[in-house]
Amino acid sequence: MTDRLLRLVSSDTPSLPVGLGRIVLGVGGCMEVLAAASASRLDKVLSAELEAPRWEWLPRLPEGAGGAFLAAWFLAMLLFTVGWRTRVTGGIAFAITAYYLAMDEQLYANHNYLLSILLLLFVLADPGAAASVDAVRGRGRPTVPRWPVFLLQAQLAIVYGFAALSKLNGDWFAGDVLEVNLLRIGPVDLPSLLERRGFYVACAVGTVLVEGFLAFAFFIPRLQRIAVVVGLAFHAGIVLTVDRWSPYAAIGFTVFALEMVALYALCVGEDVVAVVRQRWPLPVPAPS
């Protein structure tokens, strides 16, 4: 075990998958900030009568400072996405995201929590080493440390694994949760023919099986491509069929999907490197 740990913290991995993952994560983060701004989410919480601080000792952002806070958040996310001094801009984006989550429990969302975790781990993985402004300007590297990439890959298994585990309950398998949350309006309306208990139960069972499959399939080479297809279809299905009580909820599901796709890029890294190098000459330094 100790030898394997030493090997993990001593080895490197190709930088291009990390760079591609950074771009996908950054796009998701930018979307989240824009959605928060257009929904006036932060202003509503800051001006609410009922405050729900996660920690009482943490200073609260003054009412009226929401706009500047969101502008700084967006700028950091944007610079991280294009790959400009990513350890600094990503670090700032992480700090702002973490503070946003910590300031008030009303601002919590699982995809924001995931965004903060991924930003931190990507920063540790030197995400600007490839497919970045920094790489174009000669500050790229062909490889990055392996251990933060391992933690990012592990995060994929943790998220899907606990998502499946949390659904092992009567409410879920009875179809009650899906009956409430499946779309009834819009372009992908659930046909009335399918509004049956059996359909919801089948979807509930299928969801647990898919999440359970995705929790391990990315780590078995011959299942990786299937996992990518299943995962993309799964997240597209969520975005298209979950009841949109507001457009911001759909954006939230899209951001969550992008965060997971950023992790897919790391799990199928070698394939991504081969395909991308073949089709698009992205700025990544060749191994010396």
Provide the H-helix boundaries in the chain. Answer: 2-10, 16-38, 41-46, 66-82, 86-103, 110-124, 133-134, 146-166, 170-173, 176-181, 197-217, 224-241, 247-267, 269-279
Instruction: Please give the C-alpha separations between residue 29 and each of 36, 109, 167, 251, in angstroms, as whole numbers.
Output: 11, 13, 27, 11
Mapped onto helix, strand or coil, the DSSP state of residue 196 is coil
Contact residue for another protein among 47, 196, 225, 275 (CB under 8 A):
47
What does the alpha-carbon distance between residue 77 and residue 74 come to, in Å, rounded to a whole number? 5
Nearer to another protein, 243 or 271 (CB): 243
CA–CA distance from 38 to each of 42, 77, 83, 266 (Å)? 10, 17, 25, 31
For another protein, which residue of 18, 107, 227, 228 counts as binding (CB under 8 A)? 107
Q: Helix/strand/coil (H, E, C) string of 200-218? A: HHHHHHHHHHHHHHHHHHC
Q: Which member of 171, 189, 195, 270 binds another protein (CB under 8 A)? A: 171
Residue 231 as a binder of another protein (CB under 8 A): the answer is no
Residue 58 contacts another protein per CB under 8 A: no
Interaction of residue 236 with another protein, rule CB under 8 A: no
Site string for another protein, 2-41 (x = CB under 8 A): ---xxxxxxx-----------------------------x
User: Per the structure block, which two tokens stand in for 223?
Assistant: 């299942």
Number of residues that bind another protein (CB under 8 A): 47
- Per CB under 8 A, contacts with another protein among 127-156 are 145, 147, 150-151, 154-155
Least Å from the CB of residue 276 to another protein: 25
Residues forming contacts to another protein in the complex (CB under 8 A) are: 5-11, 41, 44-52, 104-110, 113, 145, 147, 150-151, 154-155, 158-159, 162-163, 165-167, 169, 171-172, 176-177, 180-181, 242, 256
